Structure 1
Amino acid sequence: MTPSPRLVTFRAVLHALPLSLLVAALVWHGPMAQDPSYHDFADQRHWLGVAQGQNTWSNLPFFVAGVLALIRGVMAPVNLRWPACVMGLGLLGVAVGSAWYHLAPTDQSLIWDRLPMSVAFAAALVLIGIDRFHPRARFALTPLVLLAAGSVGIWHWTGDLRAYAVVQFGSLLLMIQCLLFGQGNRLRASWIWLAIVWYVVAKGFEASDLWWWQASGQQLAGHMLKHLAAGIGSMCLALAIPIKWRHDQH
């Protein structure tokens, strides 16, 4: 039975509510500047000949995830192929950009960490939207990637982090909504849920960088653990991409 227009409108409002509340909260909050202490990581040691070695080398899981996403993206069903490959390229960019940033952490070098990360977020959202709602969601890939990259540009030019926060946390909210209310049958939802869990764990490690450094006797820092957790989450996203075998006609 076809749902009534009133029910369709109610569902649309319900789906838009979490993101709308996030945007409203950020507008009410006012401009968000980058905390200068953000670059003062607990572990400042050289390791394997590299400055901030653990924070730099721990980006390798992103590289593995990017390669995996590209391989599976090339073999994915046609309507999922392009966003999957863009997500893979974004993850490769995170591996390189984050490592570059940690060699000499500044606001300028942080751009090359956040730019590919925002692209990967946008592509992952489109990938899930195609599967869970409608194949036409693929047309949102270019606009969303441009908006995501633009949010990093806004922060760079104005010093205001709010647009970037919308991209990062708004994408997460929309992914969760897609999983809860969508009707997909190709992407492996269990892998996506695992990716979200690992993302939350990674944010926890990031917020407790110094605590982990002290608790481990100055051997392991939270930011390094954040990279490992986020890298595992990225691999989960890559593993969610279905492979279209030659005999698969659907």
Structure 2
Amino acid sequence: MLNDNRLKIIVAITAVSIIAVFSMDPIAQDPAYHHFADRRGTLNIPNIYNILSSLPFVIIGIMGMRLVALGRASGGLVELQAVYMTFFAGVFLTGFGSVYYHYHPDNQTLLWDRLPMTIAFMAFFSAIAGETISSQMALKLFIPLLVSGIASVVYWHVSELNGHGDLRAYVLVQFLPILLIPLILWLFNSRLNGIKYIWGVIVAYAVSKLMEFFDARIYSSLGVISGHSLKHLIAAFAAFIFYRALRNRQILSI
């Protein structure tokens, strides 16, 4: 497998990305991150729309876990069922973590928002690697990837507690898969049809990050919903696209 030049490209980009990120100065969490454009509340619940927009993660997470548990994820590979289940479990927990965080946004609650997200990130990356490069390789890397994702958040949290916050590892966990997955899809053929679903997930998640970046501008323009709330809804839709993929795709004949 390591003799495959395509895999060498993936490994090289990963190595360069890690070196580049950790050659930067530590990145502390900006306190302004917690100051959302839409802070409206109701019934003594603050940030109500950011809380309500987090609930689709719970719903889609349940739908996905049920699909896999009942053996109906025919649009995936049998050997990757545990990976799919972990992805939707991460999505499910992201909903609760997001609600908890947005009820009282600070670095302490942000920990519980980010932990389940890293589970979903690493599971999704493992799933795509398994469907394209090698399911055996993906399963071997699955647990180490999960551990590295969780460790990146724990490291950030501890660094903040020690007064020198460092988000660099978390930045890698969140954005390196976004860089690598399109490259993997270009270099390797999937064992399943419906590659449009995976591209849909990538595009939807990228759009959700744009919504987050333009949080205040979107809220001032629309007046009824903020970019951050739209980020939640579109990111949840990305998870729903993958749910549809596991229902509708078919294994390609070799």
Q: Same fold (TM over 0.5)?
A: yes
CA displacement 1:51-74 (0-9 Å, x = unmatched):
201000001221222122213323
1:179 paired residue number: 185
Partner SS state of residue 27, structure 2: coil
Match of 1:220 among 221, 225, 244: 225
Residue 26 (structure 1) shift: 1.3
Structure 2 letter corresponding to 1:20: A
Partner Cα distance (2:4, 2:88) in 1: 35
1:191 paired residue number: 197
**Following superposition of structure 1 onto structure 2, how do residues 141-220 of structure 1 map, counting pairs within 5 Å?**
141-158=142-159, 159-186=165-192, 188-217=194-223, 219-220=224-225
Of 9-18 and 86-95, the range deviating more from structure 2: 9-18
Structure 2 CA distance for partners of 1:11 and 1:181, relative to 1, 3 Å: closer
Structure 2 letter corresponding to 1:231: A
Unaligned runs of 5+ in 1: none
Partner SS state of residue 241, structure 1: helix
Partner Cα distance (1:65, 1:181) in 2: 30
Residue 10 (structure 1) shift: 4.0
Match of 2:45 among 38, 41, 50: 50
Partner Cα distance (2:185, 2:202) in 1: 11
Structure 2 CA distance for partners of 1:234 and 1:17, relative to 1, 3 Å: same
Partner Cα distance (2:95, 2:106) in 1: 17
Q: How does the TM-score come out when normalised to structure 1? A: 0.88
Q: How does the TM-score come out when normalised to structure 2? A: 0.87
Partner SS state of residue 29, structure 1: coil
Taking only aligned residues, the RMSD between alpha carbons, in angstroms, comes to 2.3
Residue 212 (structure 1) shift: 1.0
Structure 1 letter corresponding to 2:16: L
Match of 2:24 among 26, 29, 34: 29
Give the count of matched residue pairs: 240
The question of whether the paired residues in 1 share the 8 Å contact of 2:194 and 2:249 is answered with no
Please state if 1:126 is matched with 2:126.
yes
Identity of aligned residues (%): 32
